[in-house]
Structure 1
Amino acid sequence: MSAPVLYGPIGSGVRSVAPSVEADPLGIYVAALSMWSAAISGTVKVSSQGSARPVVVWSALVGKSSRGKGKTKRAAEHIVDKALGRFLATHTTASLTSGAALVNHLWKQQEATKDREEGRDIRALLLEEEWSETLKAADKRYPTKLRVAWDGATLDNTTKNDPQVVKDPALVLHAHITPSDLEQYVLRNKTQAGGGSYNRILFFLLNTVPMMDDDDISLPPVDGDALFHAYRWATAERRTISLAPEAKPLWRKIRRYSRILNESLPEGEGGYIERTAEQTLRVAACLAASECSELITEVRLNAAFTLVRRSVQDVMRLVQAGAQGAVKRQPRSLMDKVRARIEMHGGKAASKELLGFVGGSAEEVRALPGVVVKVEKEGKSGRPKTMYRLADAPPSPAPAPKVAAPEEDSPVRPAAPAPRPRPRDATPAPKKPVAQPAVPAPAREENPFRAAL
């Protein structure tokens, strides 16, 4: 993966502070560039196909809590703060969770500055260090108003009194978010992604950096004279930055690259990079303004393209990782739930054992292929029950007879072990009876009736 070019006074400031902070230099550069675009967006435009477009650069740093997203913000402020005067202190806001709140904030700022000699000031830096909390609480109009603000179109809000109207808004969003929260609140929202809410933001994955030995090291001073003079030049009058003739061949290649890439990717992935060409033009215009120039040279355009191309690579990695996670988290189908529930109950399940646990109605379960429904009745006077079986399941065996449980009052005695059979002695052969000598029978009496008398 090619490293983006850290260009101009902002890139020079990043290189001077990067050795003294545990943060990805790319994150510092992106944060400082977004702050710079917000500061000059009130007076500077970029020419694109015959129309003047805003130069606002929206960005989001994606990384774990240990990747130093907060440190990138503090380092970026250290680079641009002195050059921008009190801009960051007076124009930074956060936690606007509704479209109405967003319009109301810009409208109040517009009304407070409409009588100035320099004209109204509708610049704002929306710095979301906990972007996931904002996305969690945001209403449906929030992403719509963000899209309108990035395009520089008119924002309006209906109130009880007069309608609030903000023309040519100059709003910049810079956000911090973890990969898991990005996947939950951004990548899963296919409707907003398809509507273009997120291809207006440049996403960057932060890399790990070596650990520093001294936690108390302070940031070195930055030579901000060049950026200071550039800020005075950019805000002194309205300016329109355009492509130099030498940069037009490269610009055509960038547009062709953006179109081919968008057409070759699935809709779920291409929706995040549809504005690659315009993003490159906006970044290049900011780099030109940082050097007090109204021309985008080939060198500046190439530096801008290396940054936007890195964002394209990072967002593709994030989208593809989110798609793989979605496949792993794919919920079970109704048939899988019904099958598991019926098998849990031994091959058949009653309505009360099934329907309340699978998330489907009786009609939906009956319509499933492979599910057999039968009404059974227990005994002659029993109430009929609807039973569900699987067509490919064998019939459930008859239930085993229940063994009477011992009474609670009687102590439970352990079952006596079965008597082991004793070996039987060998049966001796029967002895022959010994012949006894014959006993002579007693002689009969002469009168047989004597016993009767």
Structure 2
Amino acid sequence: MDPVVFRGVLGELVLAADPTTEADPVGVLVSLMANVSAVIGTGPHVQIGDTRHPLIVWPLLFGRTGAGRKGDATDTADRLTRAAMPEVEHLFVSGLSSGEGLIERIRDPRDENDPGGTEDKRLRILEAEFGSVMARAKREGNTVGAVLREGWSGKALAVMNRLALRASSSHVIIIGHVTPREFRLRLAATEMAGGTFNRFLPVYVERSKRLPLPEGIAPGLLAELGARLRAAVERAARHGEVGLDQEARRLWEDELYDELGCADDEEGAWTEFARRALPYCRRVAALYAVLDDRSYVNEGDLKARRK
């Protein structure tokens, strides 16, 4: 992986933690991106035409069972996040059973006497068995696919059943883990074209090194890294719309727009994952920018996402 992706505070944290874990640093990086995008909330965003894109990142980690170290990658990112912001622990949950179950987590209160419901629509879900989500999405009447498609855009979520569950807005982040073989077996071409799974950012991970006795991040270093991440996230959350500076705009118009948009003109199952490369590039580049306390994406941010 090109070192340019390990940019800013996220890159610094990942590289500092890397000697202590067998996890793929790219897996740690995208998991940390997802965590941070959950915590900063709905304020920072990019505007593409009339569409508002929150900085939502959904990494899908592909790796062989055991050897991929998918769980290690997300565990390292989670440990860094919890060290930085222990108060957001309640936002981090596991398991994605159904669309109704997701909405229940962030639903609006039905009235002032309703003990359930929440005004905080942030949520980060880890689905370590993403193949099971794919299987459930195939079942007739299961709403998970439809809810995911709306959730990626940060829109209101609702299902029309006897409970009439509704979340007037959403900021849901999902990290998925799956083996390449299971993904191929579970996925039908029609599902890919339907747009549910191409909302995920696919990343292949594997064990980065052999550590018979991995020590994990030392407490002193963890506290230092956590403090740096917390400061960056607090600054990032204060930003609103994130634009492109002059050099970034030129790179986008002259090269990246055509390069990343080429999948729109091609057929084939593999191209479906690239259908959302354009908005994902803008989202991830903007995340790099706001964590550096900038309201404009620069050329380096775009080049990092390009890799």
Q: CA deviation at 1:83?
A: 2.2
Residue 8 of structure 2 is matched in structure 1 by 8
Larger CA deviation: 218-227 vs 53-62 = 218-227
Gaps of 5+ in 2: none
Matches of residues 417-428 of structure 1 in structure 2 within 5 Å?
Answer: none
Task: From 217, 220, 233, give the equivalent of 1:219.
Answer: 217
CA distance, structure 2, for counterparts of residue 74 and residue 94 of structure 1:
12
Distance 1:262 1:2, change over 3 A: farther
Residue 423 of structure 1 is matched in structure 2 by none
The SS at the match of 1:151 is coil
Report the AA paired with residue 293 of structure 1. R
Residue 256 of structure 1 is matched in structure 2 by 258
CA contact (8 A) 2:58 2:199 kept: yes
CA distance, structure 1, for counterparts of residue 39 and residue 23 of structure 2:
24
Structure 1 position 234 matched with structure 2 position 232: no
Distance 1:64 1:164, change over 3 A: same
Residue 100 of structure 2 is matched in structure 1 by 100
Q: CA deviation at 1:147?
A: 0.6
Structure 1 position 170 matched with structure 2 position 174: no
Q: CA deviation at 1:109?
A: 8.0
CA contact (8 A) 1:110 1:166 kept: no
Structure 1 position 85 matched with structure 2 position 86: yes
Larger CA deviation: 242-251 vs 219-228 = 219-228
Distance 1:217 1:106, change over 3 A: same
CA contact (8 A) 2:151 2:157 kept: yes
CA contact (8 A) 2:21 2:214 kept: no
Report the AA paired with residue 195 of structure 1. G
Gaps of 5+ in 1: 307-453
Q: CA deviation at 1:110?
A: 9.7
Deviations 1:24-70 (A, max 9, x none): 11111111111111111332222222543111001111111222111
CA contact (8 A) 1:83 1:231 kept: no
CA distance, structure 2, for counterparts of residue 279 and residue 182 of structure 1:
21
Q: CA deviation at 1:233?
A: 2.2
Q: CA deviation at 1:97?
A: 2.0
CA contact (8 A) 2:128 2:176 kept: yes
Q: Which structure carries more relative contact order (alpha carbon 8 Å, separation 6+)?
A: 2
Report the AA paired with residue 217 of structure 1. E
CA contact (8 A) 1:99 1:142 kept: yes
Matches of residues 317-332 of structure 1 in structure 2 within 5 Å?
Answer: none
Residue 124 of structure 1 is matched in structure 2 by 123
The SS at the match of 2:282 is helix
The SS at the match of 1:86 is helix
Residue 181 of structure 1 is matched in structure 2 by 182
Residue 279 of structure 2 is matched in structure 1 by 278
Larger CA deviation: 288-297 vs 272-281 = 288-297
CA distance, structure 1, for counterparts of residue 174 and residue 130 of structure 2:
10
Larger CA deviation: 135-144 vs 190-199 = 135-144
Matches of residues 33-432 of structure 1 in structure 2 within 5 Å?
Answer: 33-65=33-65, 66-87=67-88, 89-107=89-107, 120-138=119-137, 139=139, 140-161=142-163, 163-186=164-187, 189-213=188-212, 215-220=213-218, 221-222=221-222, 223-235=225-237, 237=238, 239-252=240-253, 253-263=255-265, 265-306=266-307
Distance 1:86 1:111, change over 3 A: farther
TM-score relative to the length of structure 1? 0.61
Structure 1 position 30 matched with structure 2 position 30: yes
The SS at the match of 1:18 is helix
Report the AA paired with residue 130 of structure 1. E
Distance 1:110 1:230, change over 3 A: farther
Distance 1:197 1:78, change over 3 A: same
Deviations 1:269-290 (A, max 9, x none): 2222111111000001111121
TM-score relative to the length of structure 2? 0.87
CA contact (8 A) 1:104 1:164 kept: yes
Report the AA paired with residue 45 of structure 1. H
CA distance, structure 2, for counterparts of residue 61 and residue 216 of structure 1:
21
Distance 1:103 1:272, change over 3 A: same
CA contact (8 A) 1:38 1:123 kept: yes
Distance 1:207 1:96, change over 3 A: closer
Q: CA deviation at 1:94?
A: 2.5
CA distance, structure 1, for counterparts of residue 233 and residue 174 of structure 2:
20
CA contact (8 A) 1:42 1:170 kept: yes
Report the AA paired with residue 23 of structure 2. A
CA distance, structure 1, for counterparts of residue 47 and residue 206 of structure 2:
34
Residue 393 of structure 1 is matched in structure 2 by none
Larger CA deviation: 130-139 vs 7-16 = 130-139
CA distance, structure 1, for counterparts of residue 51 and residue 128 of structure 2:
33
